[in-house]
Structure 1
Amino acid sequence: MKKYIILLLTLAFSSFIFAQKGNTFPHLAKSGTVTQLIVNDKPFLILGGELGNSSAASGEDIERIFPKLQRMGLNTVLVPAYWDLIEPTEGSYDFSLVDKAIKQTRENDLKIVFLWFGAWKNSMSCYAPLWFKKDYKKYPRANTKAGKPLEIASSFSENVYQADNRAFSQLMKYIASIDKEEGTVIMVQIENEIGMLEDARDYSAEANKLFNESVPEVLINYLNKNKNTLHPQMLEKWEKQGFKKKGNWQEIFGADLYTDEIFMAWSYARYVEKLAQTARSMHNIPLYVNAAMNSRNRKPGEYPSAGPLAHLVDIWHCGAPNIDILAPDLYDGFVDWVAKYKLHNNPLFIPEIKLSDSNGAQAFYVFGEHDAIGFCPFSIENGSDSERSPLVQSYAKLRELMPLLTEHQGKNTMNGLYFDKENQKRIIYRDDLRITCRHFFTLPWDSRATDGSKWPEGGGIILRLAKDEYIIAGSGIVVEFEKTDENKAIDAKELGEDGFASTGKNDRKEQIWNSSSRCGIGPVDEISVNKDGTFGYIRRLNGDQTHQGRHVRIGVDDFSILHVKLYEYK
């Protein structure tokens, strides 16, 4: 009895110390209209990068790469966990690379997200161990309609699931054993870019059998319950069949490739859900799945069919309720795709985006416009760690801004800006103001705007602190403030290289002033932001730097945070 009491006291004391440290598990929490990632009891924005597929396959590479990521200003790294290296022999597990990655993460003051390269990676089963691949009778492949076996494990096979799940459960158990108190691992991705290729669905015998059976009642009930918020494509398919509530997949959704895709998405989602339940039982941290986009208007099977794509969001939410986020991997159509993944029931997280000089501007845009949880360029180890690199500059300023951004998420006080040569201007209305935002090269002062040079992307955040008080941050942007009833100012294209009107007064139309008041720009201060959200003064910008009070601007070669106060005059 005495030993039992001592044990209870020890456990209670351990729990008290754990609580005092504030080391609750990383988790997602609702804050108003948004979902935030909570790390060490505070909202956390992932300023991340994803390693190339083979860049965590040796301890030497991990030791070489991670210090560079710290110099680049990342706070999180996304790292593959390879099934073939973790379980090279069936039933024997080697977590040395996982351990090395976690240790390097801690040494370089980072957080880590593991990507489970299990049964599928970019549709294919290339990261399954050789013993799994060779035993194709026990671990069958998906088949095309013509009967050709693919290098894609069948999601309809119980043996495939059991083998995948055993290895994944060992990974989650290992992570929990070494990281429950530290909280270094903040999320896990299950599989990678799941999807069928060549055909829209698996035509194996088991798949064909299930395709001709009734659509599961749980899915029908979900569609019916969420009828008013279904994705338009899903609603249209169901509506064309008369909103039937009983029948096989073709009777409910029609006979076409997209019904094949819906069926296949249900299979993938149910498979992933079982893995997610395993993860929850081992170590309850956020889980997500990622999708390869259909960026070229292709058909299912021409693109990876049935993954967590925007038009299949309802299937995935119903089939895999333990998955927290459906995330897009982006290489084309940036602005359109992020809008499709920021939904009322799906926070925006970008685990993979093409590494480019545009990333700095893109990161500002998604945090300002879509309350994003995180942003991660792919093959990040190949990026520059120069202090002048756009991404390094961007992450440095976003890290400063994090207290303000997380405070204002979901409050409709922020906008994101993203400009290039084709999309140069955006108008935002707040209070009684018309805020005209443009690409920096719409000003006449930089020769690169007109000499044929490629316009670098401009991106930023406009954050309303109070009436007539704003934070403007980013790169390559110009912002003008006017009262909504004020006469429209001269368009930028009419300005000469000195910034004044390029034509004489006699060539201009007379304007009759009929506004009640005007908006003026008061102090514009370049600032830093402290960890507690207070401001540090760097310098006052005036005169030439604001075109004598006409606008606020940040050049294309710099990232800055500006504190702007406005005033009214008549």
Structure 2
Amino acid sequence: MGRYTFFWILLCIILPLQAQQETPYLQKQGNATQLIINNTPFLVLGGELGNSSAASVEDIEQIFPKLQRMGLNTVLVPAYWDLTEPAEGTYDFTLTNEVIRLARENHLKVIFLWFGAWKNSMSCYAPLWFKQDYEKYPRARTKAGKPLEIASAFSENVFQADRRAFTQWLRHIATIDQEEGTVIMIQIQNEIGMLEDARDYSEEANRIFDSPVPRELIKYLQKNRKTLHPQMLEKWEANGCKTSGNWQEIFGADLYTDELFMAWHYARYVEKFAQAARMIHNVPLFVNAAMNSRGRKPGEYPSAGPLAHLIDIWHCAAPNIDFLAPDLYDDGVVDWTAQYKLHNNPLFIPEIRLADNNGVRAFYVFGEHDAIGFSPFSIEHGSDDSSSPLVKAYACLRELMPLLTKYQGKGLTNGLLFDQEYKERVLERDDLKIYARHYFTLPWDSRATDGSKWSEAGGLILQLGEYEYLLAGSGVVVEFEKGGENRAGRISLGEDGFASAGGGNMQEELWNEDFRIGIGSVDEVGIEEDGTFRYVRRLNGDQTHQGRHVRIPVDDFSILHIKLYKYR
């Protein structure tokens, strides 16, 4: 064998390995799951397009440059079955090609959302040839027998048609994007779930419902009993933790048993998609859920979707799905995100209502939950003005990314999110108490006291070392104290640090500590790509209330490097 022949053989071996190494993947760091792109941890600072905003080349060409100006690094884009396979067996990848081309031109990564058999429960993105042939591709039915605009998950013909289109589309992506890696994740279907009833009552669904619960699920429940979601465990225990029988015999006869049954079969459907995807283009895969909020019952919300209380069903039935993701359109972000950042599920938010407070919420989920990413919905309708809150927040988070990814999963960060009701959070680290509050708890801005509704404020705090912290975000104020200090009886101080009013209201504090904590320095900084600090300015005097606290005003986004010291 000549040396040149040997060289080409070696090159043919090495290049595929290199391409495989560059494929995006997930890895654990401490308690966090990180998305790795080109061997570097990556936070998705994203936005999802509106449902119809990637349905024409002209729209894509107009929108993508704006997304770059907004500071996104990733765009979530629907891929429509009806436009991908307009005639049965005939495929058109024009829109996919344009998304990838324009994303590269505008330095964006892409997460595709397969709008196949179901989108928001309905089969509205299935092709017309599929919809019209309802005998070959049957519909789900209500308990009363009414057919729905929802393809039945129990039909092999439905599954084969949907998967065939999905795999053809994904093979095309693998062909054109294997080297560049523009597409970093795939969402399979969109907000799967049954509406009107908690499950499908078609003839085939009824037959399977009356059949034994899959042995695979029973073994999973037995093996993972100590770590099951509380609602799953309660449901199983309420009927005696039976290990054989049909769905009602094991879980009882109610809507929530119907939901468990339906979740199993939706998840099995998706799992077969995921298995095919792993063989074609092995990027991270996820599913998203419409929330079970506002007191609604299964069927009033999309029953059986990848919801937190169904995570055990989905994990057992669809092990090739990397995580379940919440779509957030209700208030209560703190509570909702806590439901999805679990020991067995990292947090990724593919959709959240587009609003001015998206920026501070992004800081919160990265700081509190080591999130993989954050993505407001209908992002093309957001502002690309440099002064808009999301643009400023994303610019700040881009700078923070090297440090956030370095410390993710190590228990050194917390998120802060405040409004007019939830104004303060107390953190304890080592021998310190950290009092974090909404900026308007300082009454110096007229909006704090003139009856205005307080804008949501938030950020994150990162411990870099003993008595060294990073504070970033907008509209927060933080005080540091030695644990055990007595805060009772403190007088109200004005903006100048003097007593707000005279009248003998000063009180002697009880002192029981050897040391106090002082603010040594507060520097506004930028962060370089290697994680080192770039000095911007020293903040002191009025900007730290003469050394009493650290603050970032409402409407500003900044990164502050704080060094503390102790004295007595």
Q: Per the shorter chain, which TM-score range?
A: over 0.9
Deviation at 1:23, TM superposition (A): 5.7
Deviation at 1:501, TM superposition (A): 3.6
Structure 1's 21 and 279: CA in aligned 2 closer, same or farther, altered over 3 A? closer
- Partner residue of 2:400? 401
- Partner residue of 1:444? 443
SS in 2 for 1:168: helix
Structure 1's 324 and 490: CA in aligned 2 closer, same or farther, altered over 3 A? farther
- d(CA) in 2 for partners of 1:98, 1:195: 26
- d(CA) in 1 for partners of 2:285, 2:8: 32
Deviation at 1:427, TM superposition (A): 0.3
SS in 1 for 2:367: helix
Deviation at 1:80, TM superposition (A): 0.3
- d(CA) in 2 for partners of 1:7, 1:214: 60
CA displacement, residues 405-457 of structure 1 (integer Å, 9 cap, x when unaligned): 00111101100100011110000000111100000000011001111222111
Deviation at 1:487, TM superposition (A): 1.9
Question: 1:20-99 maps to which residues of 2 (within 5 A)?
Answer: 24-99=22-97
| Alignment equivalent of 1:135, drawn from 133, 137, 145 | 133
CA displacement, residues 518-544 of structure 1 (integer Å, 9 cap, x when unaligned): 100011000000000000000000000
- Partner residue of 2:218? 220
**1:365 aligns to 2:360 (yes or no):** no
Deviation at 1:504, TM superposition (A): 3.3
- Partner residue of 2:347? 348
Instruction: Give the counterpart letter for 1:219 in structure 2.
Output: L
- Partner residue of 2:390? 391
- d(CA) in 2 for partners of 1:382, 1:71: 13
CA displacement, residues 293-343 of structure 1 (integer Å, 9 cap, x when unaligned): 012011000010000001100000001000001000001121111000001
- Partner residue of 2:522? 524
- Partner residue of 1:569? 567
- d(CA) in 1 for partners of 2:5, 2:451: 74
- Partner residue of 1:327? 325
- Partner residue of 1:204? 202
Deviation at 1:182, TM superposition (A): 0.7
Decide whether the 8 Å contact of 1:444 with 1:495 is kept in 2. no
Structure 1's 63 and 490: CA in aligned 2 closer, same or farther, altered over 3 A? farther
- d(CA) in 2 for partners of 1:61, 1:489: 60
- d(CA) in 1 for partners of 2:226, 2:501: 55
Q: Which moved more, 1:9-18 or 1:39-48?
A: 9-18
SS in 2 for 1:460: strand
Instruction: Give the counterpart letter for 1:456 in structure 2.
Output: S
- Partner residue of 2:171? 173
Instruction: Give the counterpart letter for 1:471 in structure 2.
Output: L
Deviation at 1:16, TM superposition (A): 3.4
Deviation at 1:34, TM superposition (A): 1.6
Unpaired runs of 5+ in structure 1? none
- Partner residue of 1:483? 482
Deviation at 1:10, TM superposition (A): 3.1
Instruction: Give the counterpart letter for 1:260 in structure 2.
Output: D
- d(CA) in 2 for partners of 1:21, 1:90: 33
- Partner residue of 2:541? 543
Structure 1's 83 and 446: CA in aligned 2 closer, same or farther, altered over 3 A? same
- d(CA) in 1 for partners of 2:21, 2:383: 33
Deviation at 1:503, TM superposition (A): 4.4
- Partner residue of 2:426? 427
SS in 2 for 1:236: helix
Structure 1's 21 and 318: CA in aligned 2 closer, same or farther, altered over 3 A? closer
- d(CA) in 2 for partners of 1:322, 1:17: 26
- Partner residue of 2:292? 294
- Partner residue of 1:375? 374
Deviation at 1:512, TM superposition (A): 2.2
Decide whether the 8 Å contact of 2:121 with 2:192 is kept in 1. yes
Structure 1's 466 and 501: CA in aligned 2 closer, same or farther, altered over 3 A? same
Structure 1's 491 and 124: CA in aligned 2 closer, same or farther, altered over 3 A? farther
- d(CA) in 2 for partners of 1:533, 1:489: 40
Decide whether the 8 Å contact of 1:23 with 1:181 is kept in 2. no
C-alpha RMSD of the superposition: 1.7
Decide whether the 8 Å contact of 1:22 with 1:40 is kept in 2. no
- d(CA) in 2 for partners of 1:396, 1:91: 44
- d(CA) in 2 for partners of 1:527, 1:15: 45
SS in 1 for 2:22: coil
Instruction: Give the counterpart letter for 1:229 in structure 2.
Output: T
- Partner residue of 1:125? 123
**1:161 aligns to 2:177 (yes or no):** no
Decide whether the 8 Å contact of 1:18 with 1:181 is kept in 2. no
Deviation at 1:507, TM superposition (A): 3.0
Deviation at 1:510, TM superposition (A): 3.2
Deviation at 1:459, TM superposition (A): 1.0
- d(CA) in 2 for partners of 1:11, 1:343: 46
Decide whether the 8 Å contact of 1:417 with 1:461 is kept in 2. yes
Aligned residue pair count: 567
**1:552 aligns to 2:566 (yes or no):** no
Structure 1's 561 and 346: CA in aligned 2 closer, same or farther, altered over 3 A? same
Q: Which moved more, 1:453-462 or 1:307-316?
A: 453-462
- d(CA) in 1 for partners of 2:26, 2:503: 59
CA displacement, residues 162-181 of structure 1 (integer Å, 9 cap, x when unaligned): 00000000111001001111
Question: 1:195-274 maps to which residues of 2 (within 5 A)?
Answer: 195-274=193-272
Decide whether the 8 Å contact of 2:186 with 2:284 is kept in 1. yes
Deviation at 1:565, TM superposition (A): 0.2
Structure 1's 326 and 547: CA in aligned 2 closer, same or farther, altered over 3 A? same
Instruction: Give the counterpart letter for 1:481 in structure 2.
Output: F
SS in 1 for 2:411: coil
- d(CA) in 1 for partners of 2:506, 2:309: 51
- d(CA) in 2 for partners of 1:401, 1:535: 10
SS in 1 for 2:184: strand
TM-score when scaled to structure 1? Answer: 0.97
Instruction: Give the counterpart letter for 1:460 in structure 2.
Output: G
